[in-house]
Amino acid sequence: MRTDLDAIVIGSGQAGPFLASRLTAAGRRVALVERAQLGGTCVNHGCMPTKTLVASARAAHIARRAADYGVRIGGPVQIDMPAVKARMDRVVQQSVGNLTRWLEGMPNLSLLRGHARFAGPHEIEVNGRRLQAPQVFVNVGCRAVLPDWPGIDSTPVLDNVGLLALDAVPEHLIVIGGSYIGLEFAQIHRRFGARVTVLEAADRIVAREDEQVSRELAAILGGEGIELITGVGAARVERTADGQVRVSLQSRGVAHEIVGSHLLSAIGRRPNTDDLGLAAAGIRTDARGFITVDDQLRTNVPGIWALGDVNGRGAFTHTAYHDHQIVAANLLDGEQRSVRERIPAYALFTDPPLARIGMDEAQVRASGRRALVGTLPMTRVGRARERGETQGYMKVWVDARTQRILGATLLCIDADEIVHSLLDVMAADAPYTVVQRCVHIHPTVSELIPTLLGSLTELTPD
């Protein structure tokens, strides 16, 4: 058994390598264990490859609209899917290569390949070898789940990993799940030329968002030819004699039968905790399998932390990175940081993107506080008109008493970037008037943020 270690990090997603870097720089002897690809989901099967595809899909979309800008293209736009995939693979491999070289050259770090399982509270087994350390950090991430539909087990179903492996555009992609992952893939492949149908069990897409978001996104995606079927129930799946996939379902009392070439499951993800041997360490999980942690990301077992998606306290690359910052600051810098300091912030990378920070309107109303709201349609934004992309809107909520920004929803061009001007003011705990009175550069989308804040009116009861 190896007992000369100070810490063991299980998993090389966004939190693991950076925490290992902080620990080794402090002179700690660390083992980082990874059973699959270095970089975890984000680098290999999530953010990086999908946003590379989003860029290719947007290029195709703009090319098809070239005539709107007075540009002529001598023929229909064609998609070279092997070339699209090759570009995506190059971007991913470059990142994996950089990460590999960084970790392999990191002093005080032992990089181990294999599946780690707990053999005790501070003891793990990897490839038949036992390791022991007083501190263990779990960063094993999540994986896609399938719907519990009759016939699903005997039908070819893709998850995000399988879909990214395709080097041909699906003839008809059926997407189960009308939320973040499903809608991004739906728009990507529609712009590549596929017929796309999205099936959502809720009565609207992205049901966790305000109804206005659902309506606007449905209009945008529907305008591109994506079929959206909501309120899906009593669904069953089967493979046809010619190799297609048939989905039979009910939606609002109406029977539907959809036949497609490919079926994608994008209904959610489950934590990779079922084969970690958590019981041997006495580590508690919740009903869904997420490791239970406190606000400093400590598990119920002293000396064991859980970071990233596996702790259920955030489902994004940026929250995983922030997890490592919290743990490192508390362990190495003498600070007392907590996940409670984190302002909720995320984006849906459709085109235009949706950016969300803080509270949404339903949460603001539920809080019972007196609030102000400002809304600005993108048709009033000069830069949006100049670019011919006036879909969507910007909306912000402010506490009427404290003048602090409570939250914002931006569904518009560059929303994923410009939202940070509001997020930073929230993090600084400054009144909204700070950004309202700031002089922004013209012509930009961001210059309308002060205009948005200047439109605040009383949020009236429902």
State pLDDT tens for residues 142-158.
999 999 999 999 999 99
What does the pLDDT look like over 370-411, one tens digit per residue? Answer: 999 999 999 999 999 999 999 999 999 999 999 999 999 999
Assign domain 7-143+270-341 one CATH number from 3.20.20.70, 3.40.50.150, 3.50.50.60, 3.30.70.100: 3.50.50.60
Exposed, middle or buried, 462 (CB in 10 Å: 0-12/13-18/19+)? exposed
Any idea which residues carry the catalytic annotation?
442
Tokens of 33: 């264990």
Which is nearest to 425 in space by CA: 454, 396, 457? 396
For 152-267, give the CATH class: alpha beta
Domain with CATH 3.50.50.60 in the chain: 7-143+270-341, 152-267
Predicted confidence pLDDT, tens digits, the chain (462 residues): 788 999 999 999 999 999 999 999 999 999 999 998 999 999 999 999 999 999 999 999 999 999 999 999 989 999 999 999 999 999 999 999 999 999 999 999 999 999 999 999 999 999 999 999 999 999 999 999 999 999 999 999 999 999 999 999 999 999 999 999 999 999 999 999 999 999 999 999 999 999 999 999 999 999 999 999 999 999 999 999 999 999 999 999 999 999 999 999 999 999 999 999 999 999 999 999 999 999 999 999 999 999 999 999 988 999 999 999 999 999 999 999 999 999 999 999 999 999 999 999 999 999 999 999 999 999 999 999 999 999 999 999 999 999 999 999 999 999 999 999 999 999 999 999 999 999 999 999 999 999 999 999 999 887
Which is nearest to 305 in space by CA: 286, 287, 331, 269? 331
Which is nearest to 58 in space by CA: 426, 352, 285, 262? 352
Domain with CATH 3.30.390.30 in the chain: 345-457
For 345-457, give the CATH class: alpha beta
List, in order, residues 6 or more apart from 5 with CB less than 8 Å away.
29, 30, 31, 110, 131, 132, 133
Question: Does this model's pTM top 0.85?
Answer: yes
Exposed, middle or buried, 75 (CB in 10 Å: 0-12/13-18/19+)? exposed
